[in-house]
Amino acid sequence: MTDTLKISLALDRYDRHFPFFDGTVKPPAGLELDVKQVGQSVALRDGIDRHGRMIHHNEFDVCEFSMSSYLMAKARQMPITAIPVFPRRLFSQSQMWVHPDSNLWHPRDLLGKKVALSSFQTTLSLLAKGDLKFHYGVPWEQIHWLMTTREKVGFTTKPGVRLDFIGNSGNLGVMLENREIDAFFLPHPPHSVMSGQTRARRLFADCKAEELDYFRHHGDFPIMHIIAVRAVLLDQHPWLASVLMDLFSQAKTLARSYFEDPNWSQLLWGRHYFETERELLASDPWRDGFSQNHANIERFIRYSHDQGLIDSVYPAETLFAPQTLDS
């Protein structure tokens, strides 16, 4: 590395990414980072979010990117490649919302109901539908799905699936309160619900216990996002994949050290919660690397194929830069 390579890096401002924004993560000589805060559904450009700006316009060199859309992009040989770093994760159980006065308390109660999603292929949508079928034994095909955003990668819906576009996810809180829909599954619940302006409750009475059971059963905290790199950049600079993995590892270690200060977070018991979570979970829920996430990745591939988003179940190894497969 004799000449300096300058790359753009599009991330959301999670605590594990703070070190990129404040400069406490230092790239090695020969590499310069242009770190951009680009939210998933904010900072739109021409109505297109971060994932669309990456996949359709090659706007960033490196980008936090949808796991589901990435599975579809690789199946269609689009020119991006990932490294096994997973900066956003969610359980599906906490993201299933229903009317507080409804008699819906279990996934089986959703059969035949109207359930709103972001897009059909949004990673949380993929995970939730897959969990309904394979974890709870509830066929997602027997639910009427309503989409609020357009799909980023084209696909053909499975025969018999009821899928309609309604637009504007910001209205879902009102639609749920008015019983125009029965439930919604979203990675970012509507502001009206989060602020208490409209009433909603989670499907599961004790979603934390449900998620802990899920973690113990599957052994992982489900992936939402990966780190995608323009394929041509890795072709030209194959060393970049390992360097990026090291930088994200440094950032995660620094972010975890924040909690050594009992008053780092504005949450009064933030440090106590940190300690409780560490006691409850047998392994690091935020672990990166290919081998430790192999089963998680394979589950997403199986879900994606079952939902008609990809044509075949392909090896997980094909998703990542070869230099990172021993991680």
DSSP letters along 276-309, please? HHHHH-SS-TT--SSGGGHHHHHHHHHHHHHTTS
**pTM of the entire structure?**
0.94
Tokens of 212: 């802990």
Which domains are present in the chain?
A: 5-90+222-324 (3.40.190.10), 93-218 (3.40.190.10)
High-pLDDT (> 70) share of the chain, %:
96
Helix (H) or strand (E) holding 248: helix 240-257
Which DSSP letter does residue 208 get? H
In total, the chain counts a number of residues equal to 327
pLDDT digits (tens, 9 = 90+) for 284-315: 999 999 999 999 999 999 999 999 999 999 99
Whole-angstrom distance, CA of residue 54 vs CA of residue 66 = 10
High-pLDDT (> 90) share of the chain, %:
87
pLDDT digits (tens, 9 = 90+) for 17-67: 999 999 999 999 999 999 999 986 544 555 567 888 888 878 999 999 999
Q: How many CB atoms lie within 10 A of CB 1?
A: 12
Of the CA atoms within 13 Å of residue 3, those in its CB half-sphere come to: 4
- Please answer whether residues 316 and 297 qualify as being in contact, where contact means their C-beta atoms are separated by less than 8 angstroms: yes
Task: Work out the angle at residue 130's Cα, subtended by the Cα atoms of residues 133 and 162, and round it to the nearest 5 degrees.
Answer: 80
Which amino acid is residue 301, in one-letter code? Answer: I
pLDDT at 238 over 90: yes
Contacts of 181 (CB under 8 A, 6+ apart): 114, 115, 116, 146, 172, 175
Reported as a pLDDT band with limits 50, 70 and 90, residue 282 is confident
Q: How much is the pLDDT for 1?
A: 45
DSSP letters along 23-64, please? T-S-PPTTEEEEEEE--SSSS-BTTB-HHHHHHHH---SEEE
CA–CA distances in Å: residue 318 to residues 34, 75, 105, 248: 28, 10, 39, 21
Whole-angstrom distance, CA of residue 4 vs CA of residue 309 = 39
Which DSSP letter does residue 180 get? S
DSSP letters along 304-317, please? HHHTTSSSS---GG
